[in-house]
Amino acid sequence: MSILLPKENKKDISTIHYSLANSKNLLLIFTRNPELGKCKTRLAATIGDPSALEVYKFLLLHTARITKELHVNKKVYYSESIWKDDVWDEKVYDKKVQKGLNLGERMAQAFSEGFNNGFEKIIIIGSDMLDLSQSDLENAFLALDENDFVIGPAEDGGYYLLGMKNFKPQLFQNKEWGKDTIFADSMADLQAEKVNVLPTKNDIDVYEDIKDIDAFQPFLKHI
């Protein structure tokens, strides 16, 4: 199911930075406020709330590191309220609060606002992907040069990245958010579109997602 970018999209790093810096690209980062008992609740069911919070803070730092130098506009959407002096440098990230009754409505609102503000290529990611790099994001934006949509399937049946050049509201409607059908349902919405499918990656939701990864072992010593 996963495919790599076509060879013609592979450019040297200077060309990548020039292209991204001189286009109207926007990265949306959806994040939860890192508060005890309010993040990574499925993971917390196994490792406890304090450890789950530390895991999430670790993932937030990783997401900030891989996005800070990305040559695009960046907006962080908090789940509850905007925090100052956190991992999201206000000189780098524009800060917003998610609006909507469910994840679909909140993502739709963020995409719609971005296109209304004149951005031409918009990509959304979460903040719980250790298996994601700056180059992955650069390649995803470049994929939109020759595709209308880009999507990165997650191993749990969801997706870790979604990007588009034109707003398609159907992608955010009639979905069972959090279920393992999200990627398949989204691909059904895109069957008539030109889509680039990125490699499948592992997002972090439950204990099984982290138990064999070295980077998380310091948080699991009590398990």
**Closest Cα partner for 40 from 64, 26, 57, 24?**
57
Reported as a single tens digit per residue, the pLDDT across 67-83 is 999 999 999 999 999 99
Q: How far apart are CA 63 and CA 126, in angstroms?
A: 9
Q: How far apart are CA 108 and CA 112, in angstroms?
A: 6
| Model confidence band, residue 1 (pLDDT cutoffs 50, 70, 90) | very low
Among 4-18, 30-44, 55-69, the minimum mean pLDDT is found in: 4-18
Reported as a single tens digit per residue, the pLDDT across 103-161 is 999 999 999 999 999 999 999 999 999 999 999 999 999 999 999 999 999 999 999 99
| Model confidence band, residue 164 (pLDDT cutoffs 50, 70, 90) | very high
The answer on pLDDT for 14 being more than 70 is no
Torsion, Cα of 87, 57, 127, 72 (10° steps): 20
Reported as a single tens digit per residue, the pLDDT across 19-31 is 444 569 999 999 9
Which residue type occupies 86? D
**Closest Cα partner for 159 from 143, 176, 182?**
182
82-100 per-residue burial string, b: 16 or more CB within 10 A, e: under 16:
eeeebbbeeeebebbebee
What is the mean pLDDT of the segment spanning 184-205?
Answer: 95
| Model confidence band, residue 219 (pLDDT cutoffs 50, 70, 90) | confident
Structure tokens at 37: 């008992």
Average pLDDT, the chain: 90
**Closest Cα partner for 167 from 85, 107, 208, 88?**
107
| Model confidence band, residue 223 (pLDDT cutoffs 50, 70, 90) | low
